[in-house]
C-alpha cells in the first residue's frame, strides 16, 4: 500500500527552466502516465522521484514521508529505463538478484524472490541465460523483474517500450498493465506516445514545456481537451482559425470560407478562436446536407480499416478520418460535404 505525492517541483539546468511547479498525486495501486513531447521534462520528474536528481524546490512524498533529500539507495523505488540498463556480463538470474544482494538478503530469500519475479514476467527456466542472448522484449521483462523483485513502494517506467517493434510493443503494453495490476503497485509510466498512454493508464498527466497542461482519465482527456495543444497532441485534431459569431438562434465558428454551429461554452461575438475538430468526428456525405460545408478532396491515404482524406475546407487544409469503405467513393479532385456534430467543435478563445 503506497501513494506518491509530488509537490511544486521546480528545476532548472542553467537558464533552462525544465520543470515549473509540477504537482500531482498517485493513489495506491494506480497507474499514472506522464505524457508529452520529447524534452518536456518527463525523465527529469522520474529522476527526481527516484533520487538521481534533486529539485531546486518542491518535495516528493511516499506514504506521507518526505523523501526529497534521501539518496537513491535509501528510497524503495524500482525503475525501468528506456535502454533497459541490464548488466550484459551477468545471467538473467544475477541481473534480477542484484538489488536483493545490495540489500544483503539471505540466499534462500533471494532464490525465493527471484523465482517469483521470473514467473511473474514469464521467464521461468531462462534464469541461466546471458541477457545479451535475448530479444528486446525479453530484456525488457528482465528489467521489469529486476525493478519489482525488491518489492518497491513505487514503480517508475521511463519509455520502456520505445525500442520494441510494433507488435511486441502492444503485447508488452498489456503485459505490463497485467503485471502492475496483479502486484497492485503504484506506478508512474513515462511516454511520448498518446495511444500508449490512453491504452494503459488510470490517469494521464499531459506535460508541455515543463508545465502540466491537463490531468485527467484517458477518456476525458481525449474527449474534453482543455487546450489546443491537448486536442492536437491527443489524436491530432485539425486546428483552425475562426471567429465566434451568433446568427440569432445559434452560436457558430466562422472560419476561412466555412462555418459550423457549435455548443456555446464561453466567449463573445467577434472573439478570435482556435477551433479543434478531430478527423473522425466529421460526418461525410457525397451530397449536400443541412449545415454541411463543401470539401475538396486532394489525397487519400489508406491504412487498412481506416482511411485519411486530405483536402480543403474553404481556404483551410483539413484531414478527415473515415472507414475505408466510405473513402472508396470519394474521388481525388472531387467534392464531398462534411459537418461535425456541435459537441465535437471544440474551441478555445485566443
Ligand X SMILES: Nc1ncnc2c1ncn2[C@@H]1O[C@H](COP(=O)(O)OP(=O)(O)O)[C@@H](O)[C@H]1O
Binding region for ligand X (CB under 6 A)? 13, 16, 18, 36, 38-44
The whole-angstrom separation of Cα 337 and Cα 311 is 12
Minimum separation from the CB atom of position 98 to ligand X (A): 25
Beta strands of the chain (E only): which ranges? 4-13, 16-26, 31-35, 57-62, 65-66, 77-80, 154-158, 186-191, 203-208, 211-216, 238-246, 251-254, 259-261, 272-277, 283-285, 293-302, 306-313, 316-323, 335-339, 346-349
**43 is a contact residue toward Mg ion (CB under 5 A):** yes
Please give the size of the binding site for Mg ion, defined by CB under 5 A.
Answer: 1
- What is the number of residues in the chain? 350
For Mg ion, the closer of residues 43 and 214 by Cβ is 43
* Residue 39's binding partner out of ligand X, Mg ion, none, with CB under 5 to 8 Å set by partner kind: ligand X
204 binds, among ligand X, Mg ion, none (CB under 5 to 8 A by kind): none
Give the shortest CB-67-to-Mg ion separation in angstroms.
22
Structural contact between residues 55 and 68, judged by C-beta atoms closer than 8 angstroms: yes
Q: Which of Mg ion, ligand X, none lies near 293, with the C-beta cut-off 5 to 8 A by kind?
A: none
CB of 217 to ligand X, least distance (A): 22
What CA–CA distance (Å, rounded) separates 198 from 184? 19
Q: Which does 44 bind (CB under 5 to 8 A by kind): Mg ion, ligand X, none?
A: ligand X
| Burial of residue 163, with CB atoms counted within 10 A of its CB: 0-12 exposed, 13-18 middle, 19 or more buried | middle
With CB atoms as reference, the residue minimizing the distance to Mg ion is 43
**CB closer to Mg ion, 43 vs 139:** 43
Residue 3 CB partners (closer than 8 Å, separation 6+): 25, 26, 27, 28, 62, 63, 186
Q: Whose Cβ is closer to Mg ion: residue 189's or residue 229's?
A: 189
Q: Which three cell numbers stand for residue 298?
A: 486532394
44 binds Mg ion (CB under 5 A): no
Nearest distance from C-beta of residue 48 to Mg ion, angstroms:
13
Residue closer to ligand X, measured from CB, 43 or 140:
43
Q: How far is the CB of 39 from Mg ion (least distance, A)?
A: 8
Strand 154-158, strand 186-191: pairing: parallel
Minimum distance, C-beta of residue 9 to ligand X, in the bound complex (Å): 11
71 binds, among ligand X, Mg ion, none (CB under 5 to 8 A by kind): none
Interacting residue ranges for Mg ion, rule: CB under 5 A: 43
Amino acid at each position: 500500500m503506497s501513494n506518491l505525492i509530488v509537490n511544486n517541483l521546480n528545476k532548472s539546468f542553467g537558464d533552462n527552466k525544465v520543470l515549473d511547479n509540477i504537482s500531482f498525486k498517485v493513489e495506491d495501486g494506480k497507474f499514472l502516465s506522464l505524457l508529452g513531447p520529447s524534452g518536456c521534462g518527463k525523465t527529469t520528474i522520474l529522476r527526481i522521484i527516484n533520487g538521481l536528481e534533486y529539485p531546486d524546490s518542491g518535495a516528493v512524498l511516499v506514504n506521507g514521508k518526505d523523501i526529497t533529500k534521501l539518496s537513491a539507495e535509501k528510497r524503495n523505488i524500482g525503475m525501468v529505463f528506456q535502454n533497459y540498463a541490464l548488466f550484459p556480463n551477468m545471467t538473467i538470474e544475477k541481473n534480477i538478484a542484484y538489488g536483493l544482494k545490495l540489500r544483503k538478503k539471505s540466499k534462500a530469500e533471494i532464490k525465493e524472490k527471484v523465482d517469483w519475479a521470473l514467473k511473474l514476467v514469464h521467464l521461468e527456466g531462462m534464469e541461466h541465460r546471458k541477457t545479451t542472448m535475448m530479444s528486446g522484449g525479453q530484456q525488457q521483462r528482465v528489467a521489469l523483474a529486476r525493478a519489482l523483485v525488491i518489492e518497491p513502494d513505487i514503480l517508475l517506467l521511463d519509455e520502456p517500450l520505445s525500442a520494441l517493434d510494433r507488435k511486441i510493443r502492444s503485447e508488452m503494453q498489456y503485459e505490463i498493465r497485467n503485471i502492475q495490476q496483479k502486484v497492485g503497485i503504484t506506478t508512474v509510466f513515462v511516454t511520448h506516445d498518446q495511444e500508449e498512454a490512453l491504452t494503459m493508464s488510470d490517469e494521464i498527466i499531459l506535460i508541455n514545456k515543463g508545465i502540466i497542461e491537463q490531468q485527467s482519465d484517458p477518456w476525458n482527456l481525449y474527449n474534453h481537451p482543455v487546450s489546443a495543444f491537448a486536442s492536437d497532441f491527443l489524436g491530432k485534431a485539425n486546428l483552425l482559425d475562426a471567429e465566434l459569431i451568433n446568427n440569432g438562434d445559434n452560436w457558430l465558428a466562422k472560419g476561412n470560407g466555412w462555418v459550423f454551429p457549435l455548443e456555446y461554452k464561453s466567449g463573445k461575438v467577434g472573439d478570435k478562436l482556435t477551433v479543434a475538430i478531430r478527423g473522425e468526428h466529421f460526418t461525410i456525405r457525397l451530397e449536400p446536407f443541412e449545415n454541411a460545408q463543401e470539401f475538396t478532396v486532394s489525397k487519400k491515404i489508406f491504412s487498412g480499416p481506416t482511411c485519411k482524406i486530405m483536402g480543403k475546407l474553404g481556404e483551410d487544409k483539413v484531414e478527415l478520418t473515415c472507414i475505408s469503405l466510405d473513402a472508396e467513393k470519394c474521388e481525388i479532385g472531387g467534392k464531398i460535404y462534411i459537418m461535425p456534430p456541435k459537441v465535437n467543435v471544440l474551441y478555445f478563445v485566443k
